[in-house]
Amino acid sequence: MKTLAPIIACTIYLFLAVHQIQAQLDFDVACRTAQPFCSDASQELTFPNITGEDINFQGVGCLDSTRNSSWYFIRIDQAGELIFDIQQWVDGNESNTLEREERQLDVDFIAWGPFTTSFINCEDDLPRGCDLNGDGENLRPEECVNNVDDPDFYTTGPLGLDNTNIVDCSFARTPEENIFIETFTIPNAQSGEYYFILITNFSDEDGVIQLQQTNLDEDNAGTTDCSILEPGVGQDIATCGEFPVTLEGRFPGAIAYQWRTRAIGSDPGSFTNIGGRTDTPVIEVGVQGIYELIGYSDSAGTTEVGRDDLTVVDVSAIEIDITPNIAEESFAGNYTITAEITTTPTDIQTLGFTDFEYQLERDLGAGFVVSRPYQESPVFDNVPPGDYRIIARYRDCVASERISEVFMILGYPKYFTPNGDGFHDTWSLINIEDQPTALIYIFDRYGKLLKQLRPGGAGWDGTYNGKMMPSSDYWFRVEFNEPRDPNARRRVFAGSFSLIR
């Protein structure tokens, strides 16, 4: 899917502006000033912390104190596990990088999620306590656990042992422990989910906060969506028939918004309004299409401050045609197969929806089995001869799966064992049966002709004139029409194999 580049300066401006007034806000309003955050391979964003805050939200999860609270939210891009280190330090040289001589500050946090949007009702959606008995009543901070004491408390099962949407919570218990890095884990994040994080500055010293993902290069690691740092509606969305889809956006200085839509492939000037103006730029859509958000600095909608659009595509409805291409000519031993696809509608890939994946299956005689599991690359290397088919689909969308026609690769067994056990008792070429004009000869090491085989016949049983031939290497020669050649030119190939008794 397409990804938009972040505009960091705008985010930092917003962050600083809202934090000038945050000291006067209550819990619900403070939460709604949360700013977008991300951490990926290209950037680790660092922001100023908060000092001099009068409000302390007593008892929020495992935190007895939330002095100088900073609020962030993240959006999940690629599904998987996310592990973050949270640090805070006095940035003496203003480099936004922790230097050896710089002093670290105590940092505590609590996180909630998942949500379908960043525009939530904080008072109702962010519980301040835990619910050990699971009755949904009398949630108490005293029942919440520091993840330092029990790392599995918030991650065991769908709701954790806390039975709420608190995802994680941690604090350094005493200053003597000298712990300055907190670990925040989301074990099974899904694409499009939002999570909220509150980070404190208990020491009330000027510094910076860094939320850095530490498992980016690991298997099954999820990622955050850095497009939320840019004003607008973010990246395009591929849905596997799962509607409604929640869209949201934002523009600096906007207090009113208007959503519009048009069909994919229609005239760019054919947008029509969806309802009227709203002060909350969030909408649920039930069909694919192009959706545009316009932001205004006044409620009357006379002064526009920004507009952006994104495309929502139902990838379960895409038709995929698959053409397997084999790089090598027959009897090469191992082959490189490339799956070329065409899609209907044809402009889907042009729009940037290119996250297809491919699986190779082989017929071993009792039906097709997986030879290579789903992969992002359409290229399969070192494939032995046999009967194959390729399955292609849009990433993680089972409903979009399409299967290619069966294709056959010519080859030959390296050995056979004519001992009557029903396995490898005869020797013949692989997939030669579709070439009735092929000529196949078998020789001993001295060049003596032992057998001429019929394409698709029973093969050689390891005898000559009714006598069993000894274990040894034997040679074959085949004349055939090359299936990789559009003109099916005549070819000759010779090779050897082993008879093992």
For 207-226, what is each residue's pLDDT tens digit? 999 989 999 989 999 999 99
Q: What confidence score (pLDDT) does residue 17 get?
A: 39
The answer to whether residue 29 scores a pLDDT higher than 90 is no
* Average pLDDT over every residue of 432-453: 96
Kindly state the tokens that stand for 234. Answer: 């973010």
pLDDT of residue 56: 66
Query: What pLDDT score does 176 carry?
Result: 65
Q: Which pLDDT tens digit goes with each residue over 464-493?
A: 999 999 999 999 999 999 999 999 999 999
How far from 28 is each of 25, 31, 430, CA to CA, in Å? 8, 5, 70
pLDDT at 501 over 70: yes
Show me where the domains of the chain are located: 8-229, 237-314, 318-409, 415-499
Alpha helical stretches, state H, 319-469: none
Using pLDDT thresholds of 50, 70 and 90, give the confidence band for residue 55: low
Q: What is the mean pLDDT of the chain?
A: 90
453, containing H or E segment = strand 449-453
Nearest to residue 85, comparing CAs of 197, 220, 210?
Answer: 210
> For the domain bounded by 8-229, which CATH number is listed?
2.60.120.380
Best CA proximity match to 114, nearest among 171, 183, 167: 167
Other CB atoms within 10 A of residue 355 CB: 14
b/e code 208-235 from CB counts within 10 Å (16+ = b): bbbbbbeeeeeeebbbbbbbbbbbbbbb
pLDDT at 96: 83
Top-level CATH class of 415-499?
Answer: mainly beta
pLDDT of residue 16: 38
- The number of C-alpha atoms within 13 Å of 469 and in the hemisphere containing its C-beta is 24
pLDDT score, position 23: 36
Tell whether omega for the bond before 231 is within 30 degrees of 0, i.e. cis: no
Contact 454, 441 (CB under 8 A): no
332 contact partners, CB below 8 Å, separation of at least 6: none
CB 269 within 8 A of CB 345: no
pLDDT category of residue 57 using cuts at 50, 70 and 90: confident
Q: Same CATH topology for 8-229 and 415-499? A: no
- Closest by CA to 362, choosing from 330, 337, 398, is 337
Q: Indicate whether 41 pLDDT > 80.
A: no
Here the tokens at position 110 are: 């609590």
Burial of 316 (0-12, 13-18, 19+ CB in 10 A): middle
Contact 451, 441 (CB under 8 A): yes
Alpha helices in 364-470 (DSSP H): none
pTM over 0.85: no
**What DSSP state is assigned to residue 68?**
T
Predicted local confidence at residue 93, as pLDDT: 87
Q: What percent of the chain has pLDDT over 90?
A: 75
Predicted pLDDT of residue 173: 63
Q: What whole-number distance in Å separates Cα of residue 272 and Cα of residue 253?
A: 24
Q: Which two three-digit tokens encode residue 341? A: 């696809």
Question: DSSP assignment of 471-482, as one string?
Answer: SEEEEEEEEEE-
Residue with tokens 């996310």: 82
Within a 13 Å sphere around the CA of 207, how many CA atoms are in the beta-carbon half? Answer: 24
Q: Give domain 318-409's CATH architecture.
A: Sandwich (2.60)
Place of tokens 């969305």: 237
- As a three-state string, the secondary structure of 217-277 is CCCCECCECHHHHCCECCCCEEECCCCCEEEECECCCCCEEEEEEECCCCCCCCCEEEEEE
Backbone φ, ψ for residue 450 (5° rounding): -105, -30
Which residue, among 117, 109, 190, 193, has the nearest Cα to 154 in the 3D structure?
109
CB contact at 8 A, 235 and 225: yes
Interval 73-97: pLDDT, tens: 999 999 999 999 999 999 988 888 8
CA atoms within 13 A on the CB side of 492: 2
Q: How far apart are the first and last CA of the chain?
A: 56
How far is Cα 414 from Cα 427, in angstroms, rounded to an integer?
A: 9
Rounded Cα distance, 172 and 27, in Å: 23
CATH number for 237-314 (one of 2.30.30, 2.60.40, 3.30.750, 1.10.530): it is 2.60.40
Q: Are 471 and 493 in contact (CB under 8 A)?
A: no
Q: Contact at 8 Å (CB) between 324 and 283? A: no
Quickly state the pLDDT bin for 159 (edges 50, 70, 90). confident
Strands 70-75 and 35-36: parallel
